[in-house]
Structure 1
Amino acid sequence: MTAIRLLQHRAPDGTRSVILAEGDAAHFILGGITSTRALALKAIGAGVSLLDAARACPQGAPVDIAAEFAAGNLLAPIDHDDAAHLVLAGTGLTHLGSAEGRDKMHRAAAETEKQTDSMRMFLEGLEGGKPAPGTVGQQPEWFYKGDGSQLVSATDPLAMPAFAQDGGEEPELAGIYIIGEDGTPWRLGLALANEFSDHVTERHNYLWLAHSKLRQAALGAELLLGAPPEHVEGTSRLLRGGAVIWEKPFLSGEGNMSHTIANLEHHHFKYAQFRRPGDVHVHFFGTATLSFADGVQTQEGDVFEISAAPFALPLANPLTRAEDSAVAVKAL
C-alpha cells in the first residue's frame, strides 16, 4: 500500500510550502498552500478528506525530500501561528512490549500482594483498553508536555533544561489533530516522534511524572495520511561521536498496543477545553522501548536517531542542555 504523506517546507529565504509525497517518487509542492493547518481547515470547510484537498491543489515543482531533509529545510509536519494554541500531550503504559516482558509483569502481579500503581494501570489497560466499537474503555495514564513552543523538527536539537537530571528518547507515534469550528476533533494523520523525557526524575518518584514530561518533543517531517497502520516496526539508536552505542527495535501501531487509538482519543478529547475551535493537538501514543531501561546514560552531544516504515525519513536530534536561567518571582 502506498504511503501518502504531507511535509512542511521552508526555503532558505523563509518561504513556506507544503509537499505532497505519494510513494517513493511523486513528491511535489502544493500550489497556494503554506501550512498543513491551512490545508486541513480548507478540507474541513469543503467537506472533503485532507488527501482530496491536497490533490485538488495545483501541482507545483517536484521536490527531493531526502535532499531537503539533509539540508534542514523540512519543518515539523504541523504547527500553529500562535504556539499557545498547539497542545502537546500523551498517554503512557499503552504498549504491550515483548511477550517475555508481559509474562514477567503478569507473574509479578500474581506473586505480589500489593501492586504498584503503574502495574495496576497497565493491567487495567490490558483488560479494558480495547472496548467494543461504540463503547468507552478504560482511561489511560495521561500527561501534558507543553504548547507549540516545545515542538521541534526532526533535525533540531532536543534541549534538556539546566535543572534536568536526564534527557532520554521515547520512540513512538503521535496523532495530529485539529479542532473544527463546531468543536469536532479531526485526526489529520500520524507522525513519527521522539517524545523525550527525564527518566531519572520519573524513576525517583512516579508522582514526579508530570515534571519529567514538561520537555521538548520532536516530530518526524512526514504526516502519514489515511487509516493508522496496525503494525509499525522501527529502530531506535543512540549515537555518540558518530558511533552507535545503543540500538533496539521498537513496535507500535494498534496491534502492539493495549488500548485502541479511538479509546486514547476519547479520553483526551472528552475534556471540553481540548475542543477549542482552531487549536492543534499533538498526542503521543507511548512506547515500550527506552535506552534508559537498558542502563544507558545519555550525554550532551548524543544523537537520537529514530526510523520506521512507512515513514521514509528518520528523526536525528542531538541532545543539548539549556543554559541556567534564574527565576525570581516579584511582588506587584
Structure 2
Amino acid sequence: MSILFETEYQGRRFVGFERPEPGKASVLHRVEDGQLAATLSEVRDPAALPDAIRSRTASVTVADADLKFLPPLLPTSTNNALVSGFMQTHASKMDGPRPSEGDVDPPKWFFKGFGSWLKLPGEPLVVPAEPKALIEEPEVVLVYANDEDGTPHYAGYTFGNDLCDIGLHRYNPAYNPYCKLCDTSISPWLHLGEPPTAVNGRTTINRDGEVAWEGSFDCGLDALYYTTGDMAENLLSTYPAVRRPGLVNYLMLGADSASFHAGFRIADGDVVDIEFTSHGVRLDNRVEFAKRSATV
C-alpha cells in the first residue's frame, strides 16, 4: 500500500511517497501548505495523490538526517485542523453482536484538541500536573480534508496514541472533556488506502530505563463494535461545524484495554513505546507532568 509523509527541509515543505530508510537518501517533492488537501479534492482518490503530485512538482534528493517530519496534511499556517475521536468503540466493551451499519446510535464523541497539538514520535507528551490515572490508547486515525466548499474527502489513515486521564473520567464521567486535555502522539506516515480491518501490536512502558509494563492490543476495524459509517461518516455528514472549508479532521477510532486496565499507573517521565507491529509503525514518547501555571 502507498504511503505519503510531509517534512520540512531547509525551511520549506516537501512530500515523499516512500518511507525513509536510515542511511539512505529520500526523493521529495516541493509542496505548499495545503497543496495535498487541494489536490485530493481534485483527484478524489487517495491512491491517485502520488502520481498527481509527481506530475506537477520537481523532485529533490536529500539525506534522511536533514528531514523534520510533520503530521500528515496538517495546515501549519492556519492551524485549521481538529483532533477528535469516539469512546467505547470496541466490541469487547459492548454487549451482543456487532450491529449492521445504521442500526445503532453512534458512540460518544469527544474533542481532543487542535491539529497543532499533535506530537510526533520522540517528542514529549505533556499532561496536567496532577492526573488521577493516565492511560495510553493505541488507535487508528482517519484523516479527512475538507475542500473549499466544506465537502470532506477521505485522505487515508495513520496511527495515534490518545493519551488521557481515565482516572478523572471514572471519578466523574462529566469531566471527560478535561480528561482528554493531554498531548496526542501521531505517526507521520499516512497510508493511502481504506481503513485497516486488522491492526495488532504491543505497548511497552519504560521507567528509568527498565520495562515497567508491556501488553498487546488490537485496534483494527474487525475489533470494533461500530462501523466507520456510524462514526466518521455520521459525524462529518451531520455536523456543519466539522465541515468548514479547508478544515482537516483527525478522527481517532478508539482503543481496547491498556495498561490502566491491568492495574498499572503511568508516572511522570515514563516512556510509552507503542509498536503497531502489523504496519511497521512505532510511537515512542516520554510523558511529562506539567507544572501548575500561575494565573493573573
For the superposition of Structure 1 and Structure 2, which TM-score range results when normalised by the shorter chain?
0.7 to 0.9
Question: What's the offset of the Cα at 1:275?
Answer: 0.6
Provide the secondary structure at the position in 1 that maps to 2:30: coil
| One-letter amino acid matched to 2:175 | W
2:216 matched to 1:245?
Answer: no
Residues 5-34 of structure 1: per-residue CA shift (max 9 Å, x gap) = 1112223x4333111127989984342325
Q: How does 1:130-169 map to 2 (within 5 A)?
A: 130-131=100-101, 135=102, 137-169=104-136
- Aligned equivalent of 1:96: 91
2:295 matched to 1:299?
Answer: no
Provide the secondary structure at the position in 1 that maps to 2:49: helix
Q: Is the 8 A contact 2:28 2:61 kept in 1?
A: no
- Aligned equivalent of 1:216: 183
TM-score by length of 1: 0.79
TM-score by length of 2: 0.88
2:190 matched to 1:195?
Answer: no
Question: What's the offset of the Cα at 1:200?
Answer: 1.4
Q: Is the 8 A contact 1:305 1:316 kept in 2?
A: yes
Residues 247-273 of structure 1: per-residue CA shift (max 9 Å, x gap) = 111112211110111221133211111
Structure-2 change in CA distance of 1:127 and 1:309 (3 Å): closer
Q: Is the 8 A contact 1:177 1:186 kept in 2?
A: yes
Q: Is the 8 A contact 1:158 1:216 kept in 2?
A: yes
| One-letter amino acid matched to 1:262 | G
Q: Is the 8 A contact 2:168 2:179 kept in 1?
A: yes
| One-letter amino acid matched to 2:141 | A
Q: Is the 8 A contact 2:20 2:26 kept in 1?
A: no
Residues 256-304 of structure 1: per-residue CA shift (max 9 Å, x gap) = 1101112211332111111111001111100112111111111121111
- Aligned equivalent of 1:20: 17
2:285 matched to 1:317?
Answer: yes
Residues 84-115 of structure 1: per-residue CA shift (max 9 Å, x gap) = 52111100111124xxxx6xxxxxxxxxxxxx
* Structure exhibiting the larger radius of gyration computed from Cα positions: 1
Identity score, percent: 26
Distance 1:84 1:196 in 2: 21
Show structure 2 runs of 5+ residues with no match: none
| One-letter amino acid matched to 2:250 | V
Distance 1:8 1:165 in 2: 36
Q: Is the 8 A contact 2:37 2:73 kept in 1?
A: no
Structure-2 change in CA distance of 1:23 and 1:31 (3 Å): closer
| One-letter amino acid matched to 1:76 | P
Runs of 4+ in structure 1 off by over 4 angstroms are 22-28, 61-64
Q: Is the 8 A contact 1:6 1:223 kept in 2?
A: yes
Q: Is the 8 A contact 2:157 2:194 kept in 1?
A: no
Distance 1:317 1:83 in 2: 26
Calculate the aligned-residue CA RMSD, in Å. 2.7
Distance 2:135 2:98 in 1: 29
Question: What's the offset of the Cα at 1:306?
Answer: 1.1
- Aligned equivalent of 1:113: none
Distance 1:83 1:236 in 2: 34
Q: Is the 8 A contact 1:174 1:191 kept in 2?
A: yes
2:41 aligned to which of 35, 40, 44: 44
- Aligned equivalent of 2:151: 184
Q: Is the 8 A contact 1:28 1:59 kept in 2?
A: no
Structure-2 change in CA distance of 1:278 and 1:227 (3 Å): same
- Aligned equivalent of 1:7: 5
Residues 49-88 of structure 1: per-residue CA shift (max 9 Å, x gap) = 2332322315734567xx65xx883222231235652111
- Aligned equivalent of 2:59: 60
The structure richer in strand per residue is 2
